[in-house]
């Protein structure tokens, strides 16, 4: 197992943008699917997206399509989640996750599919 590290969260005004990063220092993520989940206060984990190995097939929650974009920079061994037109409802702790036996997304997947998680990064959307 590996522990992922998220970064890029912070405070942003409604309508603004943030880009989150996910990496594992010293470990190559290029060959594994990466999922993003988020947890708002008082709510359960919500699937955000899944990005296949080598920047292949991608899936997004229906409510987030067109605003959130996942991508990879294999040279930097980093996975990104670009979040645009942020709304207060997007306020949550965002986690990236992977499983070393999975490489091709077939939907976002359930939380139980992923054995490797980051500690999360806080995103707060407020004026």
Query: Between the CA of residue 38 and those of 34, 57, 85, what are the distances in Å?
Result: 13, 20, 17
Are the beta carbons of 105 and 58 closer than 8 angstroms?
Answer: yes
Report the C-alpha gap between 41 and 62 in whole angstroms: 21
3-state secondary structure of 36: strand
pLDDT at 38 over 90: yes
Q: How many CB atoms lie within 10 A of CB 4?
A: 22
Query: What confidence tens digit (pLDDT) does each residue in 22-33 have?
Result: 999 889 999 999
pLDDT at 11 over 90: yes
Confidence of residue 74 (pLDDT cuts 50, 70, 90): confident
Pairing of strands 121-125, 10-12: parallel
3-state secondary structure of 42: coil
């Amino acid at each position: 197992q590996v522990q992922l590290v998220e970064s890029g969260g912070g405070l942003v005004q409604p309508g603004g943008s943030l880009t989150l990063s996910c990496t594992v220092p010293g470990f190559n993520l290029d060959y594994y699917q990466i999922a993003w989940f988020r947890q708002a206060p008082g709510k359960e984990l919500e699937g955000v997206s899944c990005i296949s190995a080598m920047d292949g097939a991608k899936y997004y929650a229906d409510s987030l399509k067109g605003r959130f974009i996942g991508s990879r920079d294999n040279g930097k061994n980093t996975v990104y989640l670009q979040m645009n037109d942020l709304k207060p409802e997007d306020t949550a702790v965002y986690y990236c996750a992977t499983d070393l036996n999975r490489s091709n997304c077939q939907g976002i997947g359930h939380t139980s599919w992923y054995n490797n998680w980051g500690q999360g990064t806080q995103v707060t959307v407020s004026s």
